[in-house]
Structure 1
Amino acid sequence: MTLAGTPEPCLHNLRVCRVSLVDKLEFHIDSLIDVLITKEVLTRDDQEEIQYEKGPRKKVRKVLDILEGKGEEAARIFISASRYLEASNVKTGDQSSNQSSEYQKIIAKHKAVLKHRSECMLYYNTRHGEKIPFCEHYVNLLIVKGHYNLEIKRHEVLTFGQQRISLQHKATEQRLIKPSQLFSSKTGKNPAKKILVTGVAGIGKTVLVQKILYDFSNHKEHQSFDFIIHLTFRDLNLVSKPVSLRELILRKNGHLAKHLDTITENDAKLLIILDGFDEFKHYRACDVDIFLTDLDEKGEVVEVVSSLMLGELLTGASVLITSRPMAVSHIPIQSIDCFVVITGFSTVEIHDFFQHFFQDEELANKMFNIVVANELLLTLCYIPAFCHIVCSILKESNGLYQSNPRTMTDIYVQYLLALVKSHTNDRIESLKNVKHQEHLQEILLNLGRLAYQKLMNQETLFYISNDEIARCVIASTFMDKTSVQEPSYTEDVYSFTHLTIQEFFAALYCAMADVPLSETLGSGSEYSIESLPGNLDLFMRFLSGLLSERSQELLCKNIGFQKQKDKMQCFRLKLVSDTQASCEKGGYLLTQLHCIFEQQDVLLMQELKLQSLRINLSDVTLSTMDYNAVKHFLNEVHLTISEVDLTGTNINAESLRDLESYLLRCERIWLGENSLDLEAIKVVADILQASDILKELGLGWTDIGDEHLSVLTNALKVKQTLKELWMEGNRITFAGLSPLRVFTPSPLERVVAIWNNVTDDEGERLNSLCSEPCFTVSFTEDSMWTDWANWVLQRCEVSSSEKLVTILYKVCDISVCRLESQWAKSFYISLTKLIKARIEQCLEEDVRQKLEKFEKILST
Structure 2
Amino acid sequence: METRGTFRGRHMSSNLSLDAQLVQSTFLQQSNLLQKFQCLYEGTAKQGNPTLLNEIYTELYITESESGEINDEHEVVQIETQSRRAATENTPIKCNDIFRSLPGQDKPIRTVLTKGVAGIGKTVSVQKFILDWAEGKENQDVQLIFPLPFRELNLMKDKTLSLSDLLHVFFHKTQQTEILSDEYKVLFIFDGLDESRLSLNFKSEVKLCNISESASVDELLMNLIVGNLLPSALIWITSRPAAAHLVPSECVHRVTEVRGFNEPQKQEYFRKSISDQSLANTIITHLKSSRSLHIMCHIPVFCWISATVLEKMLSEAERGEIPKTLTQMYTHFLIIQTNIKHEKDYEKRVKDEDMILKLGKLAFQQLVKGNLIFYEEDLRECGIDVTEASVYSGLCTQIFREELGLYQGKVFCFVHLSIQEHLAAVFVHRSLTNNCINIIKDLAWVSFNPLPGLHQKAVDEALQSKNGHLDLFLRFLLGLSLESNQTLLRELLTQTGSCSYNKEETVQYIKQKIRENGSPERSINLFHCLNELGEDSLMQEINDYLKSGKIGGTKLSSSQWSALVYVLLTSEQKMDVFNLKQFIGAQNTADEVLHKLLPVVKESRSVQLSYCGVTDEGCAALTSALRSNPSHLRELDLSLNKVGDFGLNQLSDLLQDPHCKLEIFRLSNCGVRDEGCAALASALRSNPSHLRELDLSENKVGDFGVNQLSDLLQDPLCKLEILGLWDCGVTDEGCAALTSSLRLNPSHLRKLDLTGNKVGDSGVKQLSDLLQDPHCKLEILGLSDCGVTDEGCAALISALRSNPSHLRKLDLSWNKVGDSRVKQLSDLLQDPHCKLEILRLSDCGVTDEGCAALTSSLRSNPSHLRELSLSWNKVGDFGVKQLSDLLQDPHCKLEILRLMDCGVTDEGCAALTSALRSNPSHLKELSLSWNELRDSDVKLLSDLKEDPHYKLETLEF
Same fold (TM over 0.5): yes
After superposition, the Cα gap between the structure-2 partners of 1:402 and 1:678, relative to the gap in structure 1 and judged at 3 Å, is closer
**1:720-759 alignment to 2 at 5 Å?**
726-729=650-653, 739-741=669-671, 755-757=679-681
Matched residue type, 1:293: L
Residue 652 of structure 1 contacts residue 676 of structure 1 at CA under 8 Å; is this kept in 2?
Answer: no
Q: Does the 8 A contact of 1:292 with 1:299 survive in 2?
A: no
- Taking the aligned partners of 1:486 and 1:425, their CA distance within structure 2 comes to 24
Q: Is the 8 A contact 2:343 2:391 kept in 1?
A: no
Kindly indicate whether residue 146 of structure 2 is the aligned counterpart of residue 229 of structure 1. yes
Counterpart in the other structure of 1:253:
171
Match of 1:289 among 196, 204, 213: 204
Task: For 1:510 and 1:267, locate their aligned partners in 2 and report how far apart those are by CA, in whole Å.
Answer: 58
In 1, Cα distance between equivalents of 2:12 and 2:250 = 39
Q: Quick one: which of 353, 359, 363 aligns to 1:447?
A: 359
Tell me by how many angstroms 1:116 deviates. 0.9
Contact conserved, 2:638 with 2:668, CA < 8 A, in 1?
Answer: no
* Map of 1:169 onto structure 2: 88
How far has the Cα of 1:195 moved from its partner? 0.6
Deviation of 1:736 after TM superposition, in Å, equals 6.9
Residue-by-residue CA offset, 1:181-238 (whole Å, 9 max, x unaligned) = 1112338312311111112222211110001110111111122221111111222333
On the 8 A contact 1:547/1:567 being kept in 2, the answer is no
Out of 530, 540, 544, the residue aligned to residue 473 of structure 2 is 540
Matched residue, 1:131:
50
Distance 1:674 1:176, change over 3 A: farther
2:27 to 108, 111, 119: 108
Report the counterpart of residue 395 of structure 1 in structure 2: 311
Structure 2: distance between partners of 1:690 and 1:437: 69
Shift of 1:154: 4.1
- Structure 1 window deviating more from structure 2 (652-661 vs 139-148): it is 652-661
- 1:820 is aligned to none
Residue 638 of structure 2 is aligned to residue 712 of structure 1: yes
**Map of 1:203 onto structure 2:** 120
Of 522-531 and 395-404, the range deviating more from structure 2: 522-531
Paired position in structure 2 for 1:680: 606
Q: What residue identity is the alignment partner of 2:208?
A: T
Correspondence for 2:492: 559
User: 1:127 and 1:741, CA in 2 relative to 1: closer, same or farther beyond 3 A?
Assistant: closer
TM-score, normalised by the number of residues in structure 2: 0.54
Map of 1:360 onto structure 2: 276
Q: Does the 8 A contact of 1:95 with 1:104 survive in 2?
A: no
Instruction: Read off the aligned partner of 1:477 and give its amino acid letter.
Output: G
Alpha-carbon distance in structure 1 between the residues aligned to 2:386 and 2:501 = 28
Relative to 1, partners in 2 of residues 1:507 and 1:145: Cα closer, same or farther, differing over 3 Å? same
In the alignment, the residues of structure 1 paired with residue 183 and residue 437 of structure 2 have an alpha-carbon distance, to the nearest angstrom, of 52
Which residue of the partner structure matches residue 186 of structure 1? 102
Task: From 575, 584, 603, give the equivalent of 1:654.
Answer: 575
Aligned residues: 622
Shift, 1:300, TM fit: 5.3
Provide the secondary structure at the position in 2 that maps to 1:322. strand
Aligned residue for 1:212, secondary structure, equals helix
- Once the two structures are TM-superposed, the CA of residue 127 in structure 1 deviates from its matched residue by 7.7
Give the secondary structure class of the aligned counterpart of 1:197: strand
Aligned counterparts, 1:407-556, within 5 A: 407-423=325-341, 439-455=351-367, 456=369, 458-460=371-373, 462-463=375-376, 468=385, 470-471=387-388, 475-484=392-401, 490=407, 494-513=412-431, 528-532=461-465, 534=467, 536-537=469-470, 540-546=473-479, 548-549=481-482, 553-556=486-489
User: Is residue 2:289 matched to residue 1:370?
Assistant: no
| C-alpha contact 2:61 2:258 (8 A) present in aligned 1 | yes
Q: 1:238 corresponds to which residue?
A: 155
1:530-558 superposed Cα distances (whole Å, 9 cap, x missing partner): 34474834553455445543575245543
The structural deviation recorded for 1:424 is 9.9
- Asked whether the equivalents of residues 511 and 546 of structure 1 are also in contact (C-alpha less than 8 Å), the reply is no
Contact 1:508 1:546 in 2 (8 A): no
CA distance in 1, matches of 2:246, 2:42: 29
The CA deviation at 1:336 is 1.0
Counterpart Cα distance in 2 of 1:579 and 1:102: 72
- The equivalent residue for 1:616 is none
Larger RCO (CA within 8 A; separation ≥ 6)? 1
Please tell me the root mean square deviation across aligned C-alpha atoms, in Å: 5.6
Residue in 1 that maps onto 2:300? 384
What is the CA-CA distance between 1:373 and the residue it aligns to? 3.1
Task: Give SS of 1:271's match.
Answer: strand
Match of 2:722 in 1: none
Counterpart residue type for residue 56 of structure 2? H
Q: Name the stretch that deviates more: 593-602 or 99-108.
A: 593-602
**Structure 2 CA distance for aligned equivalents of residues 571 and 554 of structure 1:** 19
Distance 2:604 2:440 in 1: 49
How far 1:338 sits from its partner (Å)?
Answer: 0.6
The CA deviation string for residues 520-539 of structure 1, in whole angstroms up to 9 with x for no partner, is 56999998323447483455
Cα deviation, 1:566-625, whole Å, max 9, x if unaligned, reads: 99999998995998499556597268536634653659999xxxxxxxxxxxxxxxxxxx
Match of 2:59 in 1: 140
Of the three residues 223, 226, 230, the one matched with 1:314 is 230
Classify 1:604/1:540 alpha carbon distance in 2 versus 1 (closer, same or farther; 3 Å).
Answer: farther
Task: Please state which structure has a larger fraction of its residues in helix.
Answer: 1
Letter in 2 for 1:476: S
**Helix, strand or coil at the partner of 2:146:** strand
% identical aligned pairs: 20
Whole-angstrom CA distance in 1 between matches of 2:647 and 2:11: 72
Report the alpha carbon displacement of residue 135 of structure 1 after superposing the two structures with TM.
Answer: 1.5
Q: 1:360 to 1:270 in 2, by over 3 A?
A: same
Partner residue of 2:592? 667
Structure 1 518/369 Cα, relative in aligned 2: closer, same or farther at 3 Å?
closer
For the Cα contact (< 8 Å) 1:480–1:497, is it kept in 2? yes
Q: Deviations over 1:68-102 (max 9, x none)?
A: xxxxxxxxxxxxxxxx2359747699996554312
Tell me by how many angstroms 1:316 deviates: 2.8
Unpaired stretches in structure 1, ≥5 consecutive residues? 1-83, 428-435, 607-633, 745-750, 770-776, 778-860
Q: What secondary structure is seen at the aligned counterpart in 1 of 2:295?
A: helix
**Which residue pairs with 1:219 in the alignment?**
136
The whole-number CA distance in structure 1 between the counterparts of 2:394 and 2:678 is: 59
1:273-288 to structure 2, matched below 5 A, reads 273-281=189-197, 288=203
CA contact (8 A) 1:199 1:341 kept: yes
Please state whether the residue corresponding to 2:309 is helix, strand or coil. Answer: helix
2:304 counterpart SS class: helix
**Counterpart contact for 1:197–1:342, Cα < 8 Å:** yes
CA–CA distance in structure 2, aligned partners of residues 323 and 596 of structure 1: 29
**Hey, what's the Cα distance between the residues in 1 that align with 2:133 and 2:475?**
39
